């Protein structure tokens, strides 16, 4: 299997592990099974603490962790320069980062402030562009960039609000980045994940109803897991997906095809 994936020893940067429930942690677990060298970025000290504990708990190295605040260009530049200098080549990036102000996830979309709109887009969509720009000079052997999206990008899901609009910008950015970076054999794709209970999901109201609807209506009649998302992300990072770029790939029990 390792031969098919071609990820053994490859340097993959995973952004966005806040705790053991994070989608990014699911991806990291899949990457370890494929023998990849996993490198992490974090924003807050408390995420660093949780990540360090997770790694120590599994007897994994805590050496490859870098601070990176995606709202700050200088921080992104510093993080990827440090990673590039330490490892020479970056083969893959998992961008699993998003944020919006709590009030913009609670109030009707109509009430979104200019600042709240721009902050959600800056953190959740522009960050992918900035990360791709700083990382791509180190992706000298080609590579794969994967980000995390949600169905609210293309459908008006009432409780998703400004984040849905930011995810629409994220998915469009995936296509334009794929166009720019394809000549360097760097692929850019999004996973559109079904709802999973994480820290970020706490900001979305009516989450239990969303989970219940999937169980009732999705073809697979169940909600997806962190491992479902982790394994599909692994596939997109791997050589199996070498002909796939600019796509949004659904890991949602098929819910998006219904109704
Ligand atoms: P999470 O809270 O575990 O992860 C979100 C991460 O974003 C955290 O690690 C946080 O530190 C990071 N982050 C926020 N602002 C940042 C900044 N300025 N700089 C650097 N990092 C920052 O939640 P999650 O559900 O694992 O979310 C990961 C991604 O998956 C997000 O893009 C989210 O929108 C997407 N997603 C989640 C679901 C779900 O139901 N959980 C579904 C579809 C897509």
In this structure, is residue 190 part of a structural domain? Answer: yes
Contacts of 232 (CB under 8 A, 6+ apart): 191, 249, 251
Which residue from 19, 26, 49, 96 has its CB within 8 A of the most atoms of ligand 1, so it is best to mutate? 96
125 Cβ inside 6 Å of ligand 1: no
In this structure, is residue 201 part of a structural domain? Answer: yes
pLDDT < 70 positions in the chain? 1-2
Give the model's pLDDT for residue 2. Answer: 66
Which residue from 20, 23, 248 has its CB within 8 A of the most atoms of ligand 1, so it is best to mutate? 23
User: Whose Cα sits closest to atom 7 in ligand 1?
Assistant: 97
Give the model's pLDDT for residue 9. Answer: 97
Question: Is there a contact between 188 and 246 (Cβ–Cβ < 8 Å)?
Answer: yes
Torsion angle in degrees (nearest 10) through CA of 160, 246, 219, 164: 10
In this structure, is residue 257 part of a structural domain? Answer: no
- Whole-Å CA distances, 43 to 10, 66, 71, 159, 250: 23, 9, 10, 26, 27
Give the model's pLDDT for residue 259. Answer: 72
233 Cβ inside 6 Å of ligand 1: no
Give the model's pLDDT for residue 158. Answer: 92
Domain carrying residue 58: 2-252
72 Cβ inside 6 Å of ligand 1: no
148 Cβ inside 6 Å of ligand 1: yes
User: What CATH number is associated with residue 30?
Assistant: 3.40.50.720
Domain count, the chain: 1
SS3 of the chain: helix, strand, coil, percent, to 5: 55, 15, 30
In this structure, is residue 258 part of a structural domain? Answer: no
**Residue 181 CA, ligand 1 centroid: distance in Å:** 24
Q: How far apart are CA 32 and CA 234, in angstroms?
A: 10
**Catalytic positions, written as ranges:** 150, 160
Cα angle 220, 223, 226; round to 5: 120
First vs last Cα of the chain: how many Å apart?
Answer: 37
In this structure, is residue 6 part of a structural domain? Answer: yes
Q: How far apart are CA 31 and CA 58, in angstroms?
A: 14
228 Cβ inside 6 Å of ligand 1: no
User: Whose Cα sits closest to atom 22 in ligand 1?
Assistant: 97
In this structure, is residue 71 part of a structural domain? Answer: yes
Which residue from 46, 66, 198 has its CB within 8 A of the most atoms of ligand 1, so it is best to mutate? 198
**Residue 176 CA, ligand 1 centroid: distance in Å:** 22
pLDDT digits (tens, 9 = 90+) for 91-131: 999 999 999 999 999 999 999 999 999 999 999 999 999 99
22 Cβ inside 6 Å of ligand 1: yes
């Amino acid at each position: 299997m390792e031969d098919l994936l071609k990820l053994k020893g490859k340097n993959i940067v995973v952004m966005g592990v806040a705790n053991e429930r994070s989608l990014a942690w699911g991806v990291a677990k899949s990457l370890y099974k494929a023998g990849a060298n996993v490198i992490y970025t974090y924003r807050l000290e408390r995420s660093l603490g949780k990540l360090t504990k997770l790694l120590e708990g599994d007897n994994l190295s805590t050496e490859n962790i870098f601070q990176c605040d995606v709202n700050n260009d200088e921080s992104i530049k510093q993080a990827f320069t440090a990673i590039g200098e330490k490892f020479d080549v970056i083969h893959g990036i998992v961008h699993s980062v998003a944020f919006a102000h709590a009030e913009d996830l609670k109030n009707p979309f109509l009430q979104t402030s200019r600042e709240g709109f721009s902050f959600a887009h800056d953190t959740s969509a522009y960050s992918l562009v900035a990360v791709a720009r700083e990382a791509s000079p180190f992706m000298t052997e080609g590579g794969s960039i994967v980000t995390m999206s949600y169905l609210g990008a293309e459908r008006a899901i009432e409780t998703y609000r400004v984040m849905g609009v930011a995810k629409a910008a994220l998915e469009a950015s995936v296509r334009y980045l794929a166009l720019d970076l394809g000549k360097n054999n760097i692929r850019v794709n999004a996973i559109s994940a079904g709802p999973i209970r994480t820290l970020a999901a706490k900001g979305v109201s009516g989450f239990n109803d969303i989970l219940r609807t999937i169980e009732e209506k999705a073809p697979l009649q169940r909600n997806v897991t962190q491992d479902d998302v982790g394994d599909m992300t692994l596939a997109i990072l791997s050589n199996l997906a070498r002909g796939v770029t600019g796509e949004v790939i659904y890991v949602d029990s098929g819910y998006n095809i219904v109704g």
